[in-house]
Structure 1
Amino acid sequence: MVQLMVTPERSVADSPVWIRALGLTPSQPVTLHSSLIDEKGVKFEARAFYWANENGEVDVKEASAVGGDYTGMCPMGLFWSLKPEKMFHRLIKRDVIGSPFHIQISLFGSFVLMPSAKDTAKDTSLPSAKDTPLATCSVERWFVAPGVERFQIKEGQVRGSLFLPPGPGPFPGVIDMFGGGGGLIEFRAGLLASQGFAVLALAYFAYDDLPRALMEVNLEYFEEAAKLLLKHPKVKGPGLGVIGVSKGSEIALALASFLQQIVAAVCINGPTTINGSPLRFRDIYIPAVRYYPEKFFINDIGALDGCQIFGDPEDEAHQDSVIPLEKAQGQILFVVGEDDHALNSKLFAESAIARAKKHGKNNCTLLSYPKAGHLIEPPGSPLCTCSRIPGHPKPTQWGGEMEPHAKAQEHSWKEILKFLELHLGPAGSSNV
């Protein structure tokens, strides 16, 4: 009897899953297929081809895929190789509390290329026997562990949501921010809270009654958010961490440089000068370096490759806009993908680290990943090479190659968690 076993069937989305097929014919060709429908109704699929071993088994921890969306021994390949049927679409979990992603895993008794919806619409013939799965099962991937609570934050100027682990605490506090699309994105905050951190997912424009566009970065807003988080009885002080990607990374570095509350900053693929929108903090004003739109490259799928539009951080034009990270009293972790097509993030990080050393500071660490792109997310997340950003006229190219990017996500997530615990104190933990 053929069996498809997935362990566990219910898990937090940053944790590994073990897939095995049993009861096959020795050396039988098989296809493992994964699919999900996201909250916008877009389907994502992945597939991998395997040969059953002499015992009629396929164990993704031991077997190498011979084709499909990836090759080699990749235990989580069916998750991080998921691709959307709709171009320029990014997989983002919006409702992190109410529902998981349901991923269907199917086992086929031959090498099968699954037809797309368009192909099915054109061909009205019945599917052949080989297109019928031998076994299927459904996997739940949650972005919060049991007991994690979410509280909407609308206090003073601050807008966002607070995620608290179960238990009395106090827990180390972290501010979590995303980038130039604005709004409120919570999936990373939910996962961090599941690891035992108290996390404020912070919106800073294009959400609720905040400005629709980011005309200026006023650090007093972020200072208010830090004070709000620290006064919560379940948040352990005296210092906080901050994590951001892209524009959020730029702001995270500025917070580490100017706010005494920030003792650990994780900066993922962001510039280290103020770009696009000027920064203000009380009597401090840092002008923005303008973008260089003439340096946009439009690739063969009509997306914007912007790795040159920020210019060179060592150019004279950037010097009045450099974030003074030498003022930071805490630690800074730069996480960069060397195939980032949104900006030359490695160049910016190296320039910032050199500046810190020039001022006698050794509080910066660099994690640099060859062939990883801009959107370095928690492990198991599918690579998004290109997607649309609200307000941008064309899709944005993010870069990255699938397997190296997946490995970068897995390694960097472990390092980020270790970094935050090292500098904020040990976190509690919860598991599904």
Structure 2
Amino acid sequence: MATITATPKSSLADEPLKISVTGLEPSQLVTIQASLTDERGVLFQARAFYWTDKNGQVDLMRDAAQGGDYSGVQPMGLLLFLKPDKPFSRLMKRDVINTPYEVRLDVFDSFQMVSLPHEQSLASQTVERWYAAPGVQRILVRHGKVRGALFLPAGQGPFPGVIDIFGGVGGLTEFRASLLASRGFATLALAYFGYEDLPCCLGPMDLGYFEEAANFLLNHPKVRGPRLGIVGICKGAEIALAMATYLPQIGATVCINGTHAVHGYVLYYRDFCIQPIPYKHERMLITHQGVVDLSNIFEDPRAKLHQDSVLPVEKAQGKILLIVGESDRNYNSKAFATEIMERMKKFGKTHCALLSYPNAGHLIEPPASPFCNESWLPFVSRPVLWGGDAEAHVAAQVHSWREIQKFLHLHLGPTQSSSL
């Protein structure tokens, strides 16, 4: 009798699963499928084809997929390569505290290209993938102008503090913050537009708002100072780098696929402002499917007329980690990161490091997130191309997530890690 086993049955979404199948015929071709439905009712699935060994078994830790949504030895491939049945959908957990994703694993006889009724599977198992460890606390933040959600790890603390900032998607995005809290960081998921009474659209940036958020977090009794960490992606990475440059509260900054100059909208802080490099919207490329490629809308910050828009990153007091997908089709991230490293070298600074991933795209997220090449972006009211090769990208997510945690541990101090 066929049996599929996945362990652990309940785990954090960024933790590996061990998946195996037993009770089949030797040298039998089978299809193994993963499926989940997100909170908006969108079905995500992945399937791969395997030959059983002489004992009628398949072990994803050992055996290579022959084809399907991926190939080769990919122990987590069934989760890392999930694809939506609704075009331009992105898997983003919204209720990160109360409910897990329930992932169903099925084994089907022979080669199956399309989804089959679960009743036809030879064996099945459902696993839970959580975005918060037991005891992680979520506190909605409405403090002064600051809006967001604070995630506190289980335990007494104090814990190293981290601010988590996303990009043009807007609103309040919490799945990375809750996972960081599960790893021992007191993490503030910070909204800055498109949420509650904040500006409805991306626009001028007041660095004072982010300074207020930093002071709020540092003043929390369960947060250990004297400095904080920042993790930002896309526009959030630009903001994170500005915070690192001008705010002494910042001790460790992670910039994922961002830029080293102010783009699109003015950045102001107290008695000065930085004029932006304008977006060149007329350079947008639109595919026959209506997907927007934004990679050409950014002008070269090295041009003389744009020098005043470049952030003086050499003034940053804390450490900086740049993470780049070299096939990013949203930003020219590799070029921007290279400019940062050259600027640091020019000024004799050594507090910046670069992780550059060939063939990875823009959305480098925790390994809980499957590869997403294109998805809807409210900011432009169209689906946007993110780029990347699927296998290289998911490998970059696994590696960078580990490196981000190591970097924050090193420069903010040890955590009290939690797990299921």
**Fold shared, TM-score > 0.5 on shorter chain:** yes
Equivalent residue, structure 2, for 1:218: 206
Establish whether residue 362 from structure 1 lines up as the match of residue 362 from structure 2. Answer: no
Establish whether residue 149 from structure 1 lines up as the match of residue 110 from structure 2. Answer: no
Matches within 5 A, 1:243-258: 243-258=231-246
Matches within 5 A, 1:108-147: 108-115=108-115, 132-147=120-135
Establish whether residue 99 from structure 1 lines up as the match of residue 99 from structure 2. Answer: yes
Aligned length: 420
Structure 1: which amino acid aligns with 2:46? A
**Cα separation, 2, equivalents of 1:71 and 1:317:** 48
Equivalent residue, structure 2, for 1:13: 13
Let me know the Cα RMSD of the aligned residues: 1.2
Aligned-pair distance for 1:294? 2.3
Equivalent residue, structure 2, for 1:67: 67
Equivalent residue, structure 1, for 2:265: 277
**Cα separation, 1, equivalents of 2:368 and 2:159:** 26
Establish whether residue 202 from structure 1 lines up as the match of residue 190 from structure 2. Answer: yes
CA deviations over 1:393-432 (Å, ceiling 9, x no partner): 3211000111100000000001100000000001111111
Structure 1 stretch displaced more, 12-21 or 103-112: 103-112
Structure 2: which amino acid aligns with 1:324? P
Equivalent residue, structure 2, for 1:122: none
Aligned partners of 1:276 and 1:288 also within 8 Å: yes
> Which residue, 377, 388, 402 being the options, matches 2:390?
402
CA deviations over 1:303-341 (Å, ceiling 9, x no partner): 111112112221223211101111101111000100100
Aligned partners of 1:380 and 1:406 also within 8 Å: no
**Cα separation, 2, equivalents of 1:228 and 1:281:** 18
CA deviations over 1:79-126 (Å, ceiling 9, x no partner): 01100011111110011011011111001121111248xxxxxxxxxx
**Cα separation, 2, equivalents of 1:193 and 1:228:** 17
Structure 2: which amino acid aligns with 1:309? I
**Cα separation, 2, equivalents of 1:12 and 1:256:** 30
Q: TM-score with structure 2 length normalisation?
A: 0.98
Give the secondary structure class of the aligned counterpart of 2:112.
coil
Give the secondary structure class of the aligned counterpart of 2:382.
coil
Aligned partners of 1:44 and 1:83 also within 8 Å: yes
Aligned partners of 1:108 and 1:131 also within 8 Å: no
**Cα separation, 1, equivalents of 2:272 and 2:17:** 49
Structure 1: which amino acid aligns with 2:150? L
Equivalent residue, structure 2, for 1:120: none
Report % sequence identity.
55
Establish whether residue 168 from structure 1 lines up as the match of residue 152 from structure 2. Answer: no
Structure 1: which amino acid aligns with 2:360? A
> Which residue, 297, 308, 325 being the options, matches 1:320?
308
Aligned-pair distance for 1:292? 1.1
**Cα separation, 2, equivalents of 1:176 and 1:342:** 20
Aligned partners of 2:92 and 2:369 also within 8 Å: no
Equivalent residue, structure 2, for 1:267: 255
Aligned partners of 1:112 and 1:131 also within 8 Å: no
**Cα separation, 1, equivalents of 2:418 and 2:354:** 29
Matches within 5 A, 1:327-366: 327-366=315-354
CA deviations over 1:262-286 (Å, ceiling 9, x no partner): 0100000011110111100101210
Aligned partners of 1:304 and 1:397 also within 8 Å: yes
Aligned partners of 2:35 and 2:44 also within 8 Å: yes
CA deviations over 1:176-235 (Å, ceiling 9, x no partner): 000012100000000000000000000011101111123211011111110100011110
Structure 1: which amino acid aligns with 2:316? A
Structure 2: which amino acid aligns with 1:273? A
Aligned partners of 2:201 and 2:379 also within 8 Å: no
**Cα separation, 2, equivalents of 1:391 and 1:404:** 27
Aligned-pair distance for 1:168? 0.5
Equivalent residue, structure 1, for 2:31: 31
**Cα separation, 2, equivalents of 1:299 and 1:411:** 31
Structure 1 stretch displaced more, 347-356 or 69-78: 347-356
**Cα separation, 2, equivalents of 1:105 and 1:317:** 56
Aligned partners of 1:97 and 1:150 also within 8 Å: yes
**Cα separation, 1, equivalents of 2:306 and 2:89:** 33
Equivalent residue, structure 1, for 2:56: 56
Task: Give structure 1 regions of 4+ aligned residues with deviation exceeding 3 angstroms.
Answer: none
Structure 2: which amino acid aligns with 1:181? V
**Cα separation, 2, equivalents of 1:222 and 1:92:** 24
Equivalent residue, structure 1, for 2:215: 227
Give the secondary structure class of the aligned counterpart of 2:277.
coil
Give the secondary structure class of the aligned counterpart of 2:105.
strand
Equivalent residue, structure 1, for 2:374: 386
Equivalent residue, structure 2, for 1:430: 418
**Cα separation, 1, equivalents of 2:229 and 2:267:** 20
**Cα separation, 2, equivalents of 1:215 and 1:109:** 54
Aligned-pair distance for 1:131? 7.8
Aligned partners of 2:268 and 2:274 also within 8 Å: yes
Aligned partners of 1:2 and 1:23 also within 8 Å: yes
**Cα separation, 2, equivalents of 1:317 and 1:97:** 48
Aligned partners of 1:4 and 1:21 also within 8 Å: yes
Which segments of 5 or more consecutive residues in structure 1 lack a partner in the other structure?
117-126
**Cα separation, 2, equivalents of 1:99 and 1:316:** 52
> Which residue, 181, 184, 196 being the options, matches 2:172?
184
Q: TM-score with structure 1 length normalisation?
A: 0.95
**Cα separation, 1, equivalents of 2:119 and 2:326:** 40
